[in-house]
Amino acid sequence: MHDEKIFRLAKPKKKGLLPLLFSRFLFVVLLLLLNICKIIIVHRWLNEYISSFSFITAVFTLFMVLYLFNCNMNATAKLTWMLIIALLPLPGAVFLCFTQSDILHGVIKKRANKLIDSTKQAVIQPEDVIRQVKADGSGVASLVQYLNKGGCFPLFNNTDTTYFPIGEKKFAAMLEELKKAEKYIFMEYFIIEEGYMWGSILEVLIEKAKAGIDVRVMYDGMCEVSFLPSNYARLLEKHGIKAKAFSPIMPVVSSHYNYRDHRKILVIDGKTAFNGGVNLSDEYINHIERFGHWKDTAVMVKGDAAKSFALLFLQMWNIDEKAPEFLTYLEDDGYCPEHPNGYVMPFGDSPLDEYRVGETVYMDILNRADRYVHIMTPYLILDEEMEAALKYAALRGVDVKLILPGIPDKKAVYTLAKSHYLTLVNAGVKIYEYTPGFVHAKVFVSDDKKAVVGTINLDYRSFYHHFECGTFLYRTDCIADIECDFQNTLEKCRHVTTTSIRNEKKSYKLIGSLLKFIAPLL
């Protein structure tokens, strides 16, 4: 029986007004109120100058539209901002400047880019591996070359891989591997919430910390708003665990919804690593039910590729450290996995550089596929490029299938996803909804050769605003397990057709079409 103190170091987080104070919804409401106040003031006190004011507003709006046409921004996002500027010229311009200026994130941006740039050679790419994939004409070597323009993402072959089709199996394997730790344990998760899952893991972490093992835990700062108290890192430190929140949240003036750490990484001794969609909260292992059955996935790598995840963790951990440490944890100890097969490339995506790594990896798979691309994703908020890639693959004869949730966790996002259905289905993309509950898995698998398991959703947040990571797999044995899991999940899904789309609730259609205007902001 677990000690109750292990399950809960802090008092349960009470739900109240605090999450609202940090929400995008409140910020938009404030902008609307500001605009209403502006209109009232103009009409009451500046009535005699209304013509001049209207002229100035029109010129200002034109200037902002010209600016948006010429700025480096996604085309769909430009349209959204043009609509906002047209409706709310001054507040919209202030909101745009606010989001573009990285207020309160300048230090993070500068430090993160410096660390990534200084560690581009921290994990060495085996030359023989690149020669092998260059020779097979798969295009993998070209993808590796592109990804390494913005980071350190070697492709390895001395790595064993295991796929977990459900969170419960990943959880069991995590506990088993954590107990084997001898040197260090690094954990980086978007969500940590006290309960059975985290309590069971925490019990092992405390034991390992007492044994002198370097145990570090990092979670996104949003946890301190929704799940954990602001002093939770100090509570963990009392048990010998080094802990910190990434980019702690500040009040409404913070553009907190950008640059969140959405990664899920566990690294043990630089030999074993876990990655995937599973956070450390009880619904992810179906210990509690929130949105029906929770379908999630993960992958475990053992061997050389684990060091890439250690590097990704250390880059984030050291953002606010005065004396960053890397080499001690990345040294090659000659570890040989039991059953290495195929090629593995862990990769990270940062919102602070010019490379859209996550989206590019997905589009590369779509554009090079010959027979099929099968996808599981919880959200579908597409920019023009990704929508075009999905449609093009289907139109040229590739079997493109998407599995999405049957029970949503966010109804607004669910309705927005449905707004993409008709154009995709008309192009030949097959869409399915998981009837037992919520799909949180982020999986691409193609042609029995390539796959990605990671944290990257098919939405703007993941592609443009979050720190993300994934595991690219090429010709590994576990790819067959991923495709098998997709087919098994497909049996529990309802097929979306043009008829079912026409018969969809009118409220969904209306809300989805309206939300599409502001999709890049969600």
Tell me which residues of the chain have a pLDDT lower than 50: 1-2, 20, 252-256
- Give the integer Cα–Cα distance in Å for 104 and 160: 41
- The C-alpha atoms of residue 81 and residue 65 are separated, in whole angstroms, by 9
- Quote the CA–CA distance of 412 and 403 in Å, as a whole number: 18
Q: Mark whether 224 and 240 lie in a shared domain.
A: yes
Query: Which residue is listed with tokens 């665990």?
Result: 241
Is 511 within the bounds of a domain?
yes
Residues 378 and 511 in one domain: yes
Task: Give 3-state DSSP helix, strand, coil % of the chain, rounded to 5.
Answer: 45, 20, 35
Q: For residue 35, what pLDDT is reported?
A: 62
Predicted local confidence at residue 98, as pLDDT? 67
Q: Assess whether 453 and 416 both reside in one domain.
A: yes
> Are 117 and 130 members of one domain?
yes
Decide if 318 is inside a domain.
yes
| CA dist 55 → 59, 62, 143, 408 (Å) | 6, 11, 51, 46
The sign of the torsion formed by the CA atoms of 386, 392, 393, 398 equals positive
pLDDT at position 297 is 98
CA end-to-end span of the chain? 42
Domain extent, residue 58, equals: 18-100
- Tell me the two tokens of residue 199: 């309590």
Tokens of 206: 């405390």
Q: What is the CATH number of the domain that holds 158?
A: 3.30.870.10
* Alpha carbon separation from 266 to 59, 293, 299, 517 (Å, rounded): 53, 24, 11, 38
Q: What is the pLDDT of residue 225?
A: 77
Cβ 316 vs Cβ 185: under 8 Å: no
Closest CA to 518 of 158, 175, 45, 92: 92
Compute the distance between CA of residue 270 and CA of residue 305 in angstroms, rounded to an integer.
9
Can you give the pLDDT at residue 42? 59
402 and 459 both lie in a single domain: yes
Q: Based on the fold, state whether residues 304 and 193 are members of the same structural domain.
A: yes
The DSSP symbol for 463 reads: I
Q: State both tokens at 347.
A: 């990769």
d(CA 26, CA 394): 40
| pTM, 2 dp | 0.87
Query: Is 312 in contact with 305 (CB distance < 8 Å)?
Result: no
Pair 279, 381 in one domain? no
Q: Tell me: do 326 and 402 sit in the same domain.
A: no
63 and 110 inside one domain? no
Rounded to whole angstroms, the Cα distance separating 67 from 61 reads 10
| Residue 256 belongs to a domain | yes
Q: Report DSSP letters for 1-56, one per residue.
A: ---HHHH-SSPPPPPSSHHHHT-HHHHHHHHHHHHHHHHHHHHHH-GGGHHHHHHH
Do 172 and 166 contact (CB within 8 A), yes or no?
no
Cα–Cα distance, 208 to 268 (Å, whole number): 12
Q: What is the pLDDT of residue 163?
A: 98
E strand residue ranges, 165-310: 184-189, 214-220, 242-246, 260-261, 264-268, 272-276, 293-295, 298-303
237: left (phi over 0), alpha (psi -120 to 50) or beta: alpha
Q: What is the pLDDT of residue 313?
A: 97
Same structural domain, 120 and 77: no
Q: What is the pLDDT of residue 254?
A: 47
Do 476 and 365 share a domain, yes or no?
yes
Closest CA to 480 of 446, 512, 429, 514: 446
Q: How many domains is the chain partitioned into structurally?
A: 3
**CA-closest candidate to residue 319, choices 120, 109, 467:** 109
- Write down the pLDDT at residue 507: 79
pLDDT value for 359: 97
Angle subtended by helix axes 411-418 and 506-515, to nearest 10: 90
Q: What is the per-residue pLDDT for 28? A: 55
Contacts of 416 (CB under 8 A, 6+ apart): 380, 381, 511, 512, 515, 516, 519, 522
Secondary structure element (H or E) that encloses residue 446, with its range: strand 443-446
**200 in any annotated domain:** yes
Whether residue 256 sits in one domain with residue 121: yes
Residue 253 is predicted with a pLDDT of 46
Token pair in block for residue 303 = 């061997």
- Report if residue 292 sits inside a domain: yes
